[in-house]
Amino acid sequence: MTLSDFPADPDPEVFGQRREVAASLLNGGVMLLPSAPKLYRSRDTQHRYRPDNELYYLTGVTEPGALALIRGGESPLFVLFVTQREPGAELWTGPIMGPDSAKERFEADECYAMSELHDLLPGLLKEGDWIHYRYRARVNDGLELYVKQALEDTRSTGARSGSGPRGVVDPGRILDELRLKKEECEIKRLRIAAQVSVAGNRAGAAVISPGVGEWTVEAAVEQAFRCSGGSMPAFPTIVGSGSNACVLHYIANTAIIGKDDLVLVDAGAEVGFYNGDVTRTYPASGHFTAAQKDVYEVVLAALETAIEKVGPGETIAAVHDAVTGVIVRGLRDLGVLRGSVEELLENKAYQPYYPHQTSHWLGLDVHDPGDYSSGGTPRRLEPGMVFTIEPGLYFRPVMTKDAAEHLSGIAVRIEDDVLVTEDGCEILTRGLPTSVSEIEELVGPDR
C-alpha cells in the first residue's frame, strides 16, 4: 500500500456541512477552537506537528498558529485567524498559508492575521451568550484572558443591554456527539489506518525471536507504517515481552526477548489523522507452551464472543459483559478462580487479571470522545460507530504467588477494530489472524 492508494483530503464542503450542524447546535453561542501548540523536544528542536482534532474536524485547518471562531444563531459566522506569512520563518519550516489563501481554502466568512486578534476577538466574543471553549493546561497562548475578560465585561455591563456571554461550556458537549458516528470519508481513512496497522504488526511478528530486542520489533513495526504510507504511529508502540506485557501501557521496549516469552505487540498507524489500534500476542519460540495456549484460547474466545455481540441496538456495556462472562469461566477452568460464575461476576473477581474495559471509541483520537452511557443508561450502538474490542488476561507475578503460579508472567491481549454496520459489524483489522496456529506461523523465521 502506498500514498496513491489513499483517498484524497475531504472536500471543503464536508467541513462546511459539519460547521452548519455545529452552528445550529450553538444557538446563540460562540465556539472558540485554537490550533494545537508546537511541541519542542528541547530548546528549538520541534517535534513533528500534529493539528488539533476539534479544529481540524470543523475546518480542515492543519497549520499551527490558527484560531477558529464559529458563531451560531440567526446569523452564523465562521471567522479564522491564521499566522501571517513570514519569509524568514518559511525558510526554516516551509510555506505559511496566510490570511488571503486561508480564507479561500477553508471557505471562511472572514479571515485575519493573528496579529489582529487583540482588536477583533473581544467584539466577536461579546456576540455570543455562551462561549464554548476548553481550557488547556500548560498552554500559555493568552486565550483564557480574552474569555475571562468577556465574562467580566458582561457581568459589569451586560445586564442593561441583555447581551454578552454568561458562561463557558466545553465544546465537547456538541462536538463529541458529532464525532461519534463516522461519515463515509472518515470510514475510508479508518479502514486504511487499520490495514497499515495490520501491516506493521505482521512486520513486527516476523522479527520476533529469542534474543531479539523489543526495540527491534518496535522498529520493524514503525518502518512498516512509514513504508505503507502511514504518517506516524498513532501512539507509542508497545512491545512487551514476558512479564513486561503485564504492564498495560509498557512503552520502554528495552528488554531482550526470552526463549519462552510471549511478546505482546500493541501498535497503530495514523493515516490522514485517523487511527488504527491492533494488538496480538506472539510466542517468541514460534510455539505456545501448554499454559500459554490455555490462556490465549480464553482471550480469543472472549474476543470472538464480543464480536458476535456487536450490532445496532446493542451496547458497549453488553459487549464488555459478554467478555467478562467468558473471562470468568476461563479463569475457573484455569484453576485461578473458584465459585459460581454469577458470584464471581457480581464480585468482579476477574479484575486483578482483567483490569480494563473491553472497548474504546476510535477515530481522530485513539481514544475518541463520546459518552458510553447517559444518566446511567448505556448508549445503544448505531451504524457508523467505530471502536476497539480488546480482551486480555494478565498474570502479574505478584498476583500468582498463592494461586496459578504456573501462569506467572503470562500476559495475553488480542485487539481488533470494528465498525458497526446495518446488520452487525465489519472487522477492520481482519487481515491479521487470531487463531493459535496462524499466530505461530507469523512469528520469525522457520524453526
pLDDT digits (tens, 9 = 90+) for 282-292: 999 999 999 99
Angle between helix 12-26 and helix 172-180 axes, rounded to 10 deg: 130
CA angle 195, 199, 201 (to 5 degrees): 115
For residue 214, indicate whether it is catalytic.
no
Catalytic residue selected from 134, 287, 332, 367: 367
pLDDT of residue 159: 62
- pLDDT at 158 (0 to 100): 61
Known catalytic residue at 186:
no
Q: Catalytic annotation on 353? A: no
Query: Is residue 10 a contact partner of residue 18, using CB atoms and an 8 Å limit?
Result: no
Residue ranges, CATH 3.40.350.10, the chain: 3-177
Catalytic residue among 218, 329, 360, 417: 360
Instruction: Look up cell 484455569; give the residue.
Output: 334
Q: Which residues of 216-230 are buried (b: 16+ CB within 10 A; e: fewer)?
A: bbbbbbbebbeebbb
Task: Tell me the DSSP string of 123-145.
Answer: HHHTT-SSEE----TT--SSHHH
249 among known catalytic residues:
yes
Question: Per the residue annotation, which of 394, 416, 417, 440 is the catalytic one?
Answer: 394
For domain 181-442, which CATH number applies: 3.40.50.2020, 3.90.230.10, 3.10.300.10, 3.30.70.260? 3.90.230.10
Q: Which of 44, 74, 119, 402 is catalytic?
A: 44
Rounded CA-CA distance 353/349 in Å is 9
- What was the pLDDT predicted at 161? 62
**CA–centroid distance for 346 within its chain:** 30
Q: Which of 117, 34, 36, 107 is nearest to 76 (CA)?
A: 107
Q: Residue 258's pLDDT is what? A: 97
Let me know if 133 is a catalytic residue.
no
413 is catalytic: yes
Question: Does the annotation mark 166 as catalytic?
Answer: no
Q: Which of 54, 129, 270, 415 is catalytic?
A: 415
Catalytic residue among 129, 413, 417, 440: 413
Q: What is the pTM of this model?
A: 0.95
Among residues 134, 136, 202, 356, the one annotated as catalytic is 356
Listed as ranges, residues in the chain with pLDDT below 70 are: 1-5, 137-138, 158-162, 401-403, 445-447
Question: What residues does CATH 3.90.230.10 cover in the chain?
Answer: 181-442
Catalytic residue among 129, 218, 390, 416: 390
Q: Is 170 tagged catalytic?
A: no
Write out the three cell numbers for 358.
Answer: 473491553
Choices 3.30.465.10, 3.40.1260.10, 3.40.350.10, 1.10.220.150: CATH for 3-177: 3.40.350.10
- Among candidate residues 127, 214, 218, 266, the one labeled active-site is 266
438 is catalytic: no
Cell of 204: 513486527
